[in-house]
Structure 1
Amino acid sequence: MSKFMNRAAIAALATACATTAVAEEWNVSLWGSPRAFTAHVEKIAELVDEKTGGEFTLNISYGGLSNNRENLDGISIGAFEMAQFCAGYHRDKNPSITVLELPFLGVSSLEQEVELSMAVYQHPATVADLARWNATLLMPSPLPQYNIAGVGDAPAALTDFEGLSVRATGGIGAAMETVGAVPTSMSASEVRQAMDSGVVKAVAFAPHAHMSFGTIENATWWTENLNPGTVNCPVVVNTDALDGLSDDHREALLGSVDEALDHYIANYNGATMEAWGPALEERGITRVSFSDDEIAAFKEAAAAPAAAAWIEQNSAAGLPAQELYDMVTGMIADGS
């Protein structure tokens, strides 16, 4: 009997150990606070937990694991398994995806932004680019066209941006330079303090970020139709960690991407944009619109030169830049 009990105890212990062995926890590095920009990460964590019966958990941290400009570095050394970052924070580290940040590409919806991003993410050159950081691109964080909120006198014409300090990253910053603005690159979490202290007089953001990071609390004007472009902010995973998952856990993660993105888009197009108009009105923020002729001139001055410079620079660095650019612009022309 004693011998039987010992065997039973050993079997139970072995079962418990086996169960423990398949349990998986990943740390996820985000920043700021839960908002429209992170809705898909929150959703995928929920879906993975449900699909695996709690055996695979994504522990989301808002700033507790890394500075947002260092999330890709953290992924590369395995400091955490999943993270979000924005390409414009370090263009030299992820040049392939910066094609999506070129000004005036003409992207018309979040759904289109997802299609373009996933096509670029799956291109062999992009896969190789991110592999340098032991990173696998999981999904984008699709954002609408950026516009600018600022303090002081509202610009009556594009010439009024001359000398204005603007927080603008990537291609948006390059576009603003063409109208004489002085772009400054800083992370979103630094923007409110910079605006309060006068380091910048205006900030280019998508609507959710203007609300989340408080720029509309002291802004006096907002450009309604400048629409110079957007930024690309992927969610990435550590490649070794992804490869180390069991088949079931990997499927739970990868198989939840589409649903997480659908949730993100529904939330952004719904609750976020519904709150935007009233947020401006409650604060008495002036809406600034530019004429069609001014926007056309802005696009002509910014789009083609920025694209040509991007292609030249990245082709010289060994990237198939023309191919990536043609793929993106071709998909947009086809209405993809």
Structure 2
Amino acid sequence: MMNTIRLAAVAAVTASFATGALATEWNASVWGKRRAFTEHVEKIAELVSEKTNGEFTINVSYGGLSKPKENLDGISIGAFEMAQFCAGYHRDKNRAITVLELPFLGVSNLEQEVAVSNAVYAHPAVQDEMKQWNARLLMTSPMPQYNLVGKGEPRDTVEKMNGMRVRATGGIGEAFRAVGAVPTSVPSSEAFQAMDSGVVDTVAFAPHAHLSFGTINEATWWTSNLNPGTVNCPIVVNIDAYDSLSDAEREALESSVDESIQHYLDNYGALLKRWDEVLAEKNVEKVVISDAELAKFREAAAPISDQWIKEMTDQGLPAQELYDLVQKTLSENGS
């Protein structure tokens, strides 16, 4: 894997010298296909090019540069300049931001997800950890709460989730483990195959991913209100590449973040409005979990946050401070 990435880096540098071009060209490594999850990356590429009259361009690659779980490695060695990754793919490499993947944090909308991500990304401990990978946090990829799709009898009680094989990462996976389920963290692009082949019984995704990766096409039911949490997937840039930008290029990049996030939110909002229509079209049953069962699930998952705080504190991170920062930010933003 690392040899492939290094070859890509060498090829990119060689091409740059061969053309002798003065324009700045970046490559951004994402995966899957263009979808709601990548709209802010597409938008920032568009805005940066507009603001610099085409002198600074960002080429968005869907899987052609790296595998999803290897994007942070690629950033660390400069194989590409920008990348998206999800914290749950390699929790040991980005321990601090996994606070945002803890279950049942109380985030109720995408705007709150942006607010808590921005607050955590700005914390010195988080930035220092990212520097170890030569990575600078640029913006988040806000996603709504995850829910399950599955086939056969709906898993609508904690008892029925016992033994359930579920595609779930990070804190969501730990929450399901707490009720006896068996989580697996296959990349999102492999979730359909895992469900189709019977490797997993259910898949936990945000709505856009159920559409993009086809798991909704395998489903007979969907949980509308389980809402155990979500994953956190930052967009990062290589620090050396960022530092090499001119002042004008850096301004074009930084000033485009908020507009790109707003574009993402607007696009995702339209998708959520269509979601019920999609379920009806595909004849997928909308399952509502009872308040009593939700309470059981939350109770079972409650120790996970305390365990995370202890574990991360033992590793030298200001875990309690990060957790409190999330709660404070939610309180300030309407939670």
| TM-score, length basis structure 2 | 0.92
Q: Distance in 2 between matches of 1:142 and 1:155?
A: 26
Which letter maps to 2:294? I
C-alpha offsets along residues 150-187 of structure 1, whole Å, 9 cap, x if unaligned?
11211242211111100000000011112211111111
Q: Distance in 1 between matches of 2:300 and 2:91?
A: 22
1:84 alignment partner in structure 2? 84
Note the C-alpha offset of 1:207: 0.1
Which letter maps to 1:207? P
C-alpha offsets along residues 98-134 of structure 1, whole Å, 9 cap, x if unaligned?
0000000010111111111011111000000100000
After TM superposition, the structure 1 = structure 2 runs for residues 45-60 of structure 1, keeping only pairs within 5 Å, are 45-60=45-60
Q: 1:317 aligns with which of 315, 318, 326?
A: 315
Where 2:249 maps in the other structure, the secondary structure is helix
Which letter maps to 1:284? N
- Residue 330 (structure 2) pairs with residue 329 (structure 1): no
2:208 alignment partner in structure 1? 208
1:36 alignment partner in structure 2? 36
Q: Distance in 2 between matches of 1:145 and 1:121?
A: 20
Q: Distance in 2 between matches of 1:200 and 1:240?
A: 41
1:222 alignment partner in structure 2? 222
Q: Distance in 1 between matches of 2:331 and 2:300?
A: 20
2:247 alignment partner in structure 1? 247
Q: Distance in 1 between matches of 2:232 and 2:76?
A: 19
Note the C-alpha offset of 1:274: 2.4
C-alpha offsets along residues 262-293 of structure 1, whole Å, 9 cap, x if unaligned?
000000011x1122111111111111111112
Q: Distance in 2 between matches of 1:46 and 1:259?
A: 11
- Residue 142 (structure 2) pairs with residue 142 (structure 1): yes
- Conserved? CA contact 2:207–2:275, under 8 Å: yes
Q: Distance in 1 between matches of 2:169 and 2:53?
A: 41
1:65 alignment partner in structure 2? 65
- Conserved? CA contact 2:119–2:329, under 8 Å: no
1:9 alignment partner in structure 2? none
1:120 alignment partner in structure 2? 120
C-alpha offsets along residues 53-109 of structure 1, whole Å, 9 cap, x if unaligned?
000000110000000100000000000000000000000000010000000001011
Where 1:29 maps in the other structure, the secondary structure is strand
How many residue pairs are counted as aligned between the two chains? 316
Where 2:136 maps in the other structure, the secondary structure is strand
Note the C-alpha offset of 1:21: 6.1
Which letter maps to 2:234? P
2:8 alignment partner in structure 1? none
Q: Distance in 2 between matches of 1:268 and 1:215?
A: 18
2:103 alignment partner in structure 1? 103
Which of structure 1's runs of 4+ aligned residues deviate more than 3 A? none
Where 2:133 maps in the other structure, the secondary structure is coil
Which letter maps to 2:145? Q
Which letter maps to 2:142? P
Q: Which runs of no fewer than 5 residues in structure 2 stay unpaired?
A: 1-19
Q: Distance in 2 between matches of 1:329 and 1:296?
A: 20
Note the C-alpha offset of 1:22: 4.4
Q: Distance in 2 between matches of 1:335 and 1:26?
A: 35
| TM-score, length basis structure 1 | 0.92
Note the C-alpha offset of 1:333: 2.8
Which letter maps to 2:235? V
Q: Distance in 2 between matches of 1:58 and 1:95?
A: 28
Q: Distance in 2 between matches of 1:156 and 1:55?
A: 54
- Conserved? CA contact 2:39–2:263, under 8 Å: yes
2:284 alignment partner in structure 1? 285
Q: Percent of aligned pairs with the same residue?
A: 63
Q: Which runs of no fewer than 5 residues in structure 1 stay unpaired?
A: 1-19
Note the C-alpha offset of 1:335: 3.0
1:186 alignment partner in structure 2? 186
Note the C-alpha offset of 1:300: 2.0
1:174 alignment partner in structure 2? 174
2:235 alignment partner in structure 1? 235
Q: Distance in 1 between matches of 2:222 and 2:181?
A: 15
Where 1:190 maps in the other structure, the secondary structure is helix
Please report the RMSD computed on the Cα atoms of aligned residues, expressed in angstroms.
Answer: 1.2
